[in-house]
Amino acid sequence: MNVERLNVIREVLSSSPVASQDELRRKLRRRGIQVTQATLSRDIHQLRVSKGPGGYSLPNGHAAPAEEDDQAPSVVEMMNSFGLRVVQAMNQVVLSTVMGGAQPVAAALDRAEWPQIVGTIAGDDTVLVICGDARQAAEVGTRLRSMLEP
Amino acid sequence: MNVERLNVIREVLSSSPVASQDELRRKLRRRGIQVTQATLSRDIHQLRVSKGPGGYSLPNGHAAPAEEDDQAPSVVEMMNSFGLRVVQAMNQVVLSTVMGGAQPVAAALDRAEWPQIVGTIAGDDTVLVICGDARQAAEVGTRLRSMLEP
DNA sequence: GACAAAAGTGCATAAGTATGCAAGAGGATT
DNA sequence: AATCCTCTTGCATACTTATGCACTTTTGTC
């Protein structure tokens, strides 16, 4: 299973700076894991790792390995239809929609009952999503953003 | 000077997801700034922007060079006409207005595009203004308060 | 066990990003 | 003015990352 490898990757990334996927590949090889850069690219995407100055870094709140989770079909639909922009601020996520789209999106979010979401407030074209803390808001923001039109 | 461009880049990145430097280049061109991908690569490094799933994102703690504060005459008008009270809480500002005044005030704020403001939500007599953080909310609160009738 | 569907991987290569080099702009010094 | 710096940028290209395709392994079903 590749879960083992993902765990090692997390460990490597958190213990020393890694500048490229090829460097990561060499470090993994030293630990007995031998894969190609292509696979690491996929792993990194799956782990939702981000790259900035100073190399790769794990997501702020380390979420579990790969939780490609449950279908929130309704939310996806609403986001696709109305969603424009997602911005996180502290423990909140501000979700901009086309005019009149906020209410249905908020309703869909309420129905979905994501565990991170404490509640939502909808205006005409903006939904304020209140989460338990900043980490949870980041998760929600990422997830919502991934539902926007590419 | 390139400081102007850096500010616009920050604004673009915070307002909509950007997946690549070339996409950023096109968005900047629409705003009248025309540079090559190479320059953007350097700018992004300078801004310490990081790239993750969901595109580029500004550094968590933003050390921002101050930007100009344009006058937003329209906001002043609206505040004079409808504004009653301004209260800051965390990264938010709650703005009370006369009944029916919230929507126009919020619309004016949206139009003004203050950099500190992430988004606004208007009810009937209350506007919730969401800012990037508490400091920015304080700035916005002070500025709005100064627009109230003495 | 046999088959079908899904997941994981490498290869080759497309897509995206960083950088050495040189050119031009503006400033300071002589 | 001439010269020398420094800063900024574009160009070309090296470097890095993502992905379509084919193949193999795993998982689920009968």
Q: What is the DSSP string of B16-75?
A: S---SHHHHHHHHHHTT----HHHHHHHHHHHT-EEETTEEE--SS-----------HHH
Phi, psi of B71, rounded to the nearest 5 degrees: -80, 145
Q: Please report, rounded to a whole number, the percentage of residues in chain B having pLDDT higher than 90.
A: 0
Instruction: List pLDDT tens digits, range B18-28.
Output: 888 888 888 88
**According to the model, what pLDDT value does residue B68 have?**
31
Of B50, B118, B121, the CB nearest to A123: B121
Indicate whether A80 and A136 sit together in one domain. yes
CATH of the domain at B111: 3.30.1360.40
Indicate whether A38 and A6 sit together in one domain. yes
| Closest by Cα among A45, A42, A15 to A31 | A15
DSSP character at residue A92 = E
| Closest by Cα among A126, A84, A50, A109 to B107 | A126
- In this structure, chain A runs to a length of 150
Last residue of a domain, one of A14, A43, A68: A68
Classify burial at A30, counting beta carbons within 10 Å of its beta carbon; exposed 0-12, middle 13-18, buried 19 or more.
Answer: exposed
* Distance of alpha carbon A21 from alpha carbon A27, whole angstroms: 10
pLDDT-based confidence at B2, cuts 50/70/90?
low
CATH of the domain at A11: 1.10.10.10
* Distance of alpha carbon B7 from alpha carbon A70, whole angstroms: 39
Total domain count for chain A? 2
Dump the DSSP string for A6-43. HHHHHHHHHHS---SHHHHHHHHHHTT----HHHHHHH
Last residue of a domain, one of A37, A68, A99: A68
Token readout for B55 is 């595109």
**In a 3-state reduction of DSSP, which class is residue B98?**
coil
**According to the model, what pLDDT value does residue A68 have?**
34
Its domain, for residue A14, covers 2-68
**In a 3-state reduction of DSSP, which class is residue B144?**
helix
Instruction: List pLDDT tens digits, range B47-97.
Output: 788 888 778 887 764 343 333 333 233 577 677 667 777 777 678 787 777
Q: Which of A42, A45, A56, A87 to mutate against chain B (most B CBs within 10 Å)?
A: A87
**According to the model, what pLDDT value does residue A136 have?**
76
Q: A50: which chain B residues are within 8 Å (Cβ-Cβ)?
A: 50-53, 57
Cα distances (angstroms) measured from residue B3 to each of A64, B14, B132: 40, 17, 21
Residues 6 or more apart whose CB falls under 8 angstroms from that of B30 comprise none
Last residue of a domain, one of A68, A99, A123: A68
Q: Is B16 within 8 Å of chain A by CB?
A: yes
**According to the model, what pLDDT value does residue B66 have?**
31
Q: A86: which chain B residues are within 8 Å (Cβ-Cβ)?
A: 17
Indicate whether A85 and A56 sit together in one domain. no
Distance from CA of B143 to the nearest CA of A (A): 20
Of A45, A90, A146, the CB nearest to B91: A90
**According to the model, what pLDDT value does residue A108 have?**
79
Reported pTM: 0.49
Indicate whether A89 and A139 sit together in one domain. yes
Better-predicted residue by pLDDT, B78 or A10: A10
Per-residue pLDDT, averaged over B97-102, amounts to 66
Distance from CA of A71 to the nearest CA of B (A): 19
* Stretch among A54-58, A71-75, A82-86, A143-147 having the lowest mean pLDDT: A71-75
* Distance of alpha carbon A101 from alpha carbon A108, whole angstroms: 11
Instruction: List pLDDT tens digits, range A16-25.
Output: 788 888 888 8
Residue A21 contacts strand D, CB under 7 A: yes
Per-residue pLDDT, averaged over B114-138, amounts to 79
Token readout for A111 is 């129905």
**According to the model, what pLDDT value does residue B100 have?**
58
Whether residue A103 is predicted with pLDDT greater than 60 in this model: the reply is yes
Indicate whether A134 and A116 sit together in one domain. yes
**According to the model, what pLDDT value does residue A61 have?**
46
Of B51, B119, B121, the CB nearest to A51: B51
Per-residue pLDDT, averaged over B85-113, amounts to 74
**According to the model, what pLDDT value does residue B121 have?**
79
